[in-house]
Amino acid sequence: MPESVTPVTFPPAFLWGAATSAYQIEGAVREDGRTPSIWDTFSHTPGKTAGGEHGDIAVDHYHRYRDDVALMADLGLGAYRFSVSWSRVQPTGRGPAVQRGLDFYRRLVDELLAHGIKPAVTLYHWDLPQELEDAGGWPERETALRFAEYAQIVGEALGDRVEQWITLNEPWCSAFLGYGSGVHAPGRTDPAASLRAAHHLNLAHGLGTSALRSVIPSRNSVAVSLNSSVVRPVSQDPADLDAVQRIDDLANGVFHGPMLHGAYPQTLFTATRSVTDWSYVQDGDLTAIHQPLDALGLNYYTPTLISGAAAPADGPRADGHGASSHSPWPGADDVAFHQTPGERTEMGWTIDPSGLHDLIMRYTREAPGLPLYITENGAAYDDKPDPDGRVHDPERIAYLNGHLTAVHRAIADGADVRGYYLWSLLDNFEWSYGYGKRFGAVYVDYATLARTPKSSAHWYSRAARTGTLAPVTPAE
């Protein structure tokens, strides 16, 4: 007789959601007053994205949002995390709001609430208005001031109906992929600028948090979503452990240090002194950044394996962040990144749910008493419809089951994890990879834009409705 398996059941109030971002799904890039963002410019620059693909239409969510919300309701989702396009509501990043742009988000929020789905608004998911980049972008302090103004505009428009707010999504990518390695918009490759950008993103978070709180009800929650890395050494050799410290500072401490503790790690200053003197950190900045948070969002996909040995010169850097001859790790050119063993997703990222458990427990220690949400987790696979039009993705089901089980184990170990947002609701424009990497639980036919829930969507739907992970079977 087979052994009985204890069901993996989550707390009754656990929030089951899915996430997207504006440039990846909305399209309508020239409608209702929207002006170009850095991703419009970058994706239309030859050689920057796979096949020259861009988000001009994306998956046309701007016009299909009612159908997409109905689909979320059919799947039993309790929450939907989306981002606001800055240049849609405040063209050029300055001046008064364009009400037509804000009206889209008002309609979206109303539609979600009408279907019993909680909206979670991310203010910034990488799409800086191009005119702010032309004025210097995130390396300039002025951009942080403009972000606070924008945050107040959106808070005033939606704060009466949106309870969950996220200032920034993955500021590490904005700073170090956008200004360091250049694989993300705006495509600059200046190590010193990437560290200045990181500081001003921190400042934007702090000023934006204060601006939001000045206009939204006190019951509302303000958070930030960090793609904190789980950095592991190849060995316990002192050189490898030193490399872990330096990469951990650049991946994690550079953001959670000032945000959670009001200070940058001194080891970060030491490791980057050949790149920058940090003189742009002005008196009062750390106090402004260190705002009390109501929650912390964690985004996780795969761990990072490194050593202190010099990186090989004859191959790509195996850090999982795209191919570039320029490093996103300023001051760490002597650190080598290694492929972790195990099965991989279509992105080449190793599948390792233990990393998610480790990440949750780290922040349970790092910020005791602060509620946590998994604001992104998911996998890309080469999904294709079968002859009957159904899309079977058992690999994604196994991925989700493994990572949700890791979340459940962390809760059992004392972590206060209150929700999980699957990345992503829909197949979409995957940044520099174009449309070649499918992360969605819902398949999108890019020729017709028809939506088809995959097997993983139905599996996740059962979890959302019951709070229990269904057994993974070959029939899925």
Where in the sequence numbering do the catalytic residues fall?
170, 376
Structure tokens at 315: 């191959």
Angle at 296 between CA 110 and CA 172, to 5 degrees: 100
DSSP designation for 2:
P
Q: Do 194 and 176 contact (CB within 8 A), yes or no?
A: yes
| Residues 177, 255: Cα–Cα separation, whole Å | 15
Reduced DSSP (H G I as helix, E B as strand, rest coil) percent helix, strand, coil of the chain, to 5: 40, 15, 45
DSSP characters over 62-85 = HHHHHHHHHHHHHTT-SEEEEE--
Token pair 């401490």 is found at 253
Spatial distance between the Cα atoms of 125 and 23, rounded to a whole number of angstroms:
8
For residues 397, 445, 15 and 27, what is the CA-based torsion angle, rounded to 10 degrees? Answer: 150
Both tokens of residue 172? Answer: 């590490």
Q: Report how far residue 247's alpha carbon sits from residue 387's, in angstroms, rounded to the nearest whole number.
A: 47
Query: Which strands, in side-by-side order, build the sheet including 304-307?
Result: 231-233, 304-307, 336-338
